[in-house]
């Protein structure tokens, strides 16, 4: 094997140093600057993306807070409208109940007056009927007593 031959060691070491030197020079001169530029551009792009992500997250938080605020505001408005409508409905119900009670009271008063009037008419008519009935009874009794006195006499 020629690699293990001692006479070729110095030339092998020379070429090894030359090759490694060229490779190191190529790495330092070409590959490392390119890799550095790529890494820097990626780092810069990552920073931009992080900045945009943070900005979007802040906007999302702001929109979420605004939506929550608007939702709470709308909910309070709806509750206020509902309570206002409920109070209006209760007011209308109370007014209608009051009007109905007033109507019932008026009708009761009218019917009470009519009943009192009819009772007085019935009392007047019954007085006349009783008067005629008493007269008829008296006339019958007087006729029968005259008839019995004429029979006895």
Work out the mean pLDDT of the chain and round it to a whole number: 91
Would you kindly state where each structural domain of the chain is located, as residue ranges? 88-144
Q: Which residues contact 89 (CB under 8 A, 6 or more apart)?
A: none
What tens digit of pLDDT does each residue of 70-84 get? 999 999 999 999 999
* pTM passes above 0.85: no
> Which pLDDT value is given to residue 149?
67
Q: pLDDT tens digits, residue range 91-139?
A: 999 999 999 999 999 999 999 999 999 999 999 888 888 888 899 999 8
pLDDT, residue 112, reads 95
């Amino acid at each position: 094997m020629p690699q293990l031959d001692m006479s070729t060691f110095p030339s092998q070491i020379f070429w090894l140093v030359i090759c490694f030197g060229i490779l190191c020079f190529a790495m330092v001169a070409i590959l490392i600057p390119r890799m550095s530029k790529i890494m820097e551009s990626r780092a810069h792009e990552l920073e931009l993306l992080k900045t945009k992500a943070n900005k979007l997250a802040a906007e999302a938080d702001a929109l979420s807070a605004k939506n929550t605020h608007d939702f709470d505001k709308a909910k309070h408005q709806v509750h206020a409208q509902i309570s206002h409508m409920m109070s209006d409905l209760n007011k209308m119900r109370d007014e209608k109940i009051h009007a109905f009670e007033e109507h019932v009271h008026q009708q009761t008063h009218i019917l009470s007056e009519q009943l009192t009037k009819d009772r007085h008419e019935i009392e007047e008519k019954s007085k006349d009927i009783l008067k005629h009935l008493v007269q008829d009874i008296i006339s019958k009794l007087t006729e029968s007593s005259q008839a019995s006195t004429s029979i006895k006499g």
